[in-house]
Structure 1
């Protein structure tokens, strides 16, 4: 039996996007299938999808080689609609909850992928949770506003380079793999979107080192136009820079990942 289209399903349930939830639906299955191809292969591993809405990405995931597909949907209006995709095989699980509160390790056993068209209003917060939290996904393929996606993959000296780039690239290899125009969504957002693929690095910083890196980048980019000796003054200023082998008159946007890791490590070193 042929499934109804996503638009037909939305109409049948009388559903539309909620601005308060940052919802913009991707209804073109050719696009969702391409995103899933970019995210895979899954080789039988579980996939967590946050904010599935009407299930465009979910349908493509269920067509893939994912072992289980676990949906985390905050909006209870979509749970009955998503339940219609369950074929009784046990592959699909639906969790009605806030993804910012969910403990992913309790949802899946073993390695898992994250594949999501993230709600715009919580996308960055969710990414930081996954990058810095105790649970490490096998890989993340996530859609953001184009501006946020560019901030994740930016290099030193680029306008988009900042704290998000340093934290993301310290933890993962990050690539921008797909652009989508606003017209691809219903309703169309005011901005374009992009998909980022992130794979955790084997040499990712240990938790305590990552916390120090967060402190250093928060201070450095909190006053990004100032020299580091000024922006890092609460953490040691010029003396901290000298211990890390960084010029105190440099600015945050010129320092690469290794430089910020040296600054993070220097927080633990006694002043000379």
Structure 2
């Protein structure tokens, strides 16, 4: 990729600008992009699935790390810039023009692929919930290395009894290990967003026995949907959950943010029993 022109030159030549409607912010710092590409570990010979590559800054870094990349981009303005990278990639890049929320990712990227992406802000959380959900586990992906607004990233790795702890934390941690890999200053982007960003790294683990993902998703949606209320009120629409609290000896006057991931799993298991 060293023979390619600088990203700023590519962006200027193709008249590209980040689209607010698509949640775009271009990341151009080559050293920072290389650091992000190292977060999943050794990618030499690995397969990577990238969402929203834009002009291809992170794509270049992933290819430089030795990966083969399937990149999904819905903004056709960026396709000529990505085609330049494709021509220099020795066949290790495939670009798909599509909405990432609509394609069969496992079929396109293959099982065992690493997902690495500077996610568009407007679809980042939806994609994360999709990748963390479903009954099939372990998932088709090997790891997630994702750039989010820092506030969202902190919610993913949050612990109980904190203001950031909520549904995303439980869904990310009940059968995976999630950590904050690095923080990224807003000045690293073009144009600079109003908020800071951070990279989260998630690796799937063992799924607890006797628990369905759908049950846990429904439980956490209800519990955190009214997070300031006590569980006996927020879970009124889920009588089985209230019964489970009694069975497990969990005080129904507690609030959702005080329950550990283990306790949420125990409640879901009791519901499914």
Normalising by structure 2, we get a TM-score of 0.93
**Is 1:197 aligned with 2:201?**
yes
Following superposition, the deviation at residue 102 of structure 1 comes to 1.4
The answer (yes or no) to whether the contact 2:210–2:269 under 8 Å persists in 1 is no
1:184 pairs, out of 170, 177, 188, with 188
**Is 1:221 aligned with 2:214?**
no
Aligned to 1:102, the other structure's residue is in SS state coil
CA distance in 2, matches of 1:74, 1:172: 29
Aligned counterpart, 1:51: 52
Following superposition, the deviation at residue 206 of structure 1 comes to 7.3
CA distance in 2, matches of 1:11, 1:48: 26
Post-superposition CA distance 1:20-60 (Å, at most 9, x none): 00000001111100101112212422001100001110110
Normalising by structure 1, we get a TM-score of 0.94
Alignment map for 1:117-266 (pairs within 5 Å): 117-133=118-134, 135-201=139-205, 203-205=206-208, 209-236=212-239, 238-266=242-270
CA distance in 2, matches of 1:80, 1:90: 16
Displaced runs of 4+ in structure 1, greater than 3 A? 205-208
Q: How large is the Cα RMSD of the aligned pairs? A: 1.6
CA distance in 2, matches of 1:110, 1:129: 16
Aligned to 2:173, the other structure's residue is in SS state helix
Following superposition, the deviation at residue 65 of structure 1 comes to 2.5
| Structure 1 runs not aligned, ≥5 long | none
Aligned counterpart, 2:73: 73
CA distance in 2, matches of 1:145, 1:17: 16
Q: Structure 1 residues 171 and 187, CA, compared in 2 at 3 Å: closer, same or farther?
A: same
CA distance in 1, matches of 2:114, 2:249: 38
Following superposition, the deviation at residue 136 of structure 1 comes to 2.7
Following superposition, the deviation at residue 208 of structure 1 comes to 6.4
Q: Count the aligned residue pairs.
A: 267
CA distance in 1, matches of 2:84, 2:208: 42
Aligned to 1:20, the other structure's residue is in SS state coil
